Amino acid sequence: MTPTAFASPLPNAYGLAVVTDVAVYWQQVHLHPETKLVNLRDAIPNIQLDIRYATTSNVLGEALYPTAAAFLRAPAAEALQQVQAALAVHGVGLVVFDAYRPYSVTVQFWEQIQDETYAAPPWRGSRHNRGCSVDVALVDATGQPLRMPTAFDDLTPAAHATYEPVSAEARRNRTLLLDTMAAFHFVNYPAEWWHFDFARWAEFDLLDIPFSALTTK
């Protein structure tokens, strides 16, 4: 399966091809089930969700999603399920802050941040828009957050994956997260310890499909 299996949508105002037609998305899913955006609650029932962009507790200070949900393309969701199982051996698990992000939300981010270190420009789009990026941290067996180097969405050098100094506890947790995600084909974005791209991201189209359309079939 490759993005060229389907007729590409016409370029948008930024010259970028983005799937906005719900019918086209479902046609893709019908022909290639791997393209489906899977609800992580269904794929990994014991995963914790803390979807910040469905609240005002985020870097933009406004709710960008109408509901708190997390979706990934099917193979990425399966890989994340394996991460969760591997972490359970250590008595910990994942909390998800964000996963699939509609392209229109990426445009909103850029309008306010306009720093390519922390926001994908609309002429490129985000791997979140492809359903192949996930923002995560660790929780203990009771669901309580473990200490990490910074809070989520900290747009400073302290959030870089190799930043020093950090506490020994935060370093151990960061290392466990980075190593376990890497073992299942997730590549860390170095400026954000929490951000991981599924290695096959380039196989999937950019999408601007609302969450509400992902649970209708």
Annotated binding site: 128, 135, 195
Taking a C-beta distance cutoff of 8 angstroms, is the pair 147, 139 a contact? no
Taking a C-beta distance cutoff of 8 angstroms, is the pair 21, 117 a contact? no
- Return the ∠ at Cα 49 (arms to 199 and 89), rounded to 5°: 70
- Residue ranges of the annotated binding site for Zn(2+) are 128, 135, 195
161: left (phi over 0), alpha (psi -120 to 50) or beta: alpha
Active site annotation includes 203: no
Which of 98, 110, 97, 104 minimizes the C-alpha distance to 60?
110
CA atoms within 13 A on the CB side of 168: 0
Strands 48-49 and 92-98 turn out to be parallel
Instruction: Just list the catalytic residues.
Output: 192
